[in-house]
Amino acid sequence: MTTASLLILPGDGIGPEVMAEVRKIIGWFGDKRGIDFDVSEDLVGGAAYDAHGTPLHDDTMAKAQEVDAVLLGAVGGPKYDALDFSVKPERGLLRLRKEMDLFSNLRPAQCFDALADFSSLKKDVVAGLDIMIVRELTSGVYFGEPRGIFEEGNERVGINTQRYTESEIARVARSAFELARKRGNKVCSMEKANVMESGILWRDVVQEIHDAEYPDVELSHMYADAGAMQLTRWPKQFDVIVTDNLFGDLLSDLAAMLTGSLGMLPSASLGLPMANGRPKALYEPVHGSAPDIAGQGKANPIACILSFAMALRYSFDLGDEATRLENAVEKVLADGLRTADLLGEEGVTPVSTSEMGDAIVAALDAGL
């Protein structure tokens, strides 16, 4: 394949540690599979603020627009809590999503068999779980105007505006339907049409797109609060869930914990195709920067490694190689290797961040 370009943004906290393990995987694909990547690295979040006084330098933003995919570690930490909102580390990530127009956020919740007992739910509820939440990422209440904290009479008022256009809803709906066709061919759309006008529009547009373009896909609608309840009652009833920015944020974190650990879950944020046909894309683990364990070798690199697997599948059309990497992760877990976030079972082997990365590389070698 033509060498693909990849921008790595390790970020803050455990970000550099987990990204170091991804680099091992990238190196393995180059050495053993002849799949080379043109890798560059830059700063984001608190690391960028420390160096440049901004959570994302304009030059870094320009690089992100040019490469085939961006792989991000994590941003933030208490060191930056006192900063003005406009320069907090998270603003760098939000700028990437907004300016790259990454409107479709894919967050899988998959429970590996070896970790079924680790979930807080019963094994029969989560064993074999494989669902995908498609979250609209560039509009809704996180971006709507007006917003801010204002004086009204003798008190302060905080305002955020939930706003969606038909086109914004339609394109994320298409993303969910297209994905469902490659999975279980079933979509559940979640909103609050019972109390929110934006929810009424959301439901109407999703239904219209379905009827006109995807009648072969099974579509259902559910209020988001009921969806949260159903995710904890019987999550395997779902295949693809499509929802807005705010509800997607909440529901995907809920779904993440069905699998036992945020340290296990990747995500992909996709936009419109570039000139080469590849979608603009950013891949990142669901977990945060975990500054309390940074530098201690306790971080779980699997979510970041699986984020790279998603990049192989969605940005580089290397689905077989993505499956190869996912199988290597599954083998390591089946062999009982566990980072600190997954300890608690009997008969498992504690490993450090780097040891987990080495084990996955060894599993890739064994699978050749």
pLDDT tens track for 70-86: 999 999 999 999 999 99
**pLDDT at res. 351:** 97
Low-confidence ranges of the chain (pLDDT < 70): 1-2, 260-263
Q: Which of 225, 317, 335, 358 is catalytic?
A: 225
Task: Tell me phi and psi for residue 78, to 5 degrees.
Answer: -60, -20
Answer yes or no: 117 catalytic. no
* Whether residue 247 sits in one domain with residue 267: no
> How far, in Å, CA of 247 to CA of 42, rounded?
31
Q: Which of 36, 101, 253, 335 is catalytic?
A: 253
Residue finishing a domain among 225, 258, 291: 258
User: Count of CB atoms within 10 A of residue 84's CB?
Assistant: 7
Q: Which of 12, 249, 331, 341 is catalytic?
A: 249
Q: If you count DSSP H runs as helices and E runs as strands, how many of each does the chain have, helices first? A: 12, 14
* Whether residue 234 sits in one domain with residue 338: no
Q: Write out the two tokens for 36.
A: 């080379």
The reply to whether 115 falls in a domain is: no
Residue finishing a domain among 242, 258, 274: 258
Please name the residues in contact with 275: beta carbons below 8 A apart, sequence gap of 6 or more: none
> How far, in Å, CA of 353 to CA of 195, rounded?
46
Q: Write out the two tokens for 241.
A: 């869930």
> How far, in Å, CA of 179 to CA of 131, rounded?
11
Answer yes or no: 253 catalytic. yes
* Whether residue 231 sits in one domain with residue 188: yes
Q: What is the pLDDT of residues 190-234, one digit of tens each?
A: 999 999 999 999 999 999 999 999 999 999 999 999 999 999 999
* Whether residue 349 sits in one domain with residue 329: yes
Residues in binding site for substrate: 97, 107, 135, 225
**pLDDT at res. 87:** 97
Residue finishing a domain among 238, 258, 278: 258
The reply to whether 294 falls in a domain is: yes
Task: Tell me phi and psi for residue 7, to 5 degrees.
Answer: -100, 120
Q: Which domain holds residue 273?
A: 1-108+263-368
Answer yes or no: 223 catalytic. no
- Rounded to 10 degrees, the C-alpha dihedral 60/268/356/131 comes to 170
* Whether residue 145 sits in one domain with residue 83: no
The reply to whether 114 falls in a domain is: no
**pLDDT at res. 272:** 86
Q: What is the CATH number of the domain that holds 192?
A: 3.40.718.10
* Whether residue 134 sits in one domain with residue 226: yes
For residue 312, how far is the Cα from the chain centroid? 14
> How far, in Å, CA of 214 to CA of 208, rounded?
9
* Whether residue 358 sits in one domain with residue 278: yes
pTM: 0.88
Give the count of domains, the chain: 2
* Whether residue 214 sits in one domain with residue 182: yes
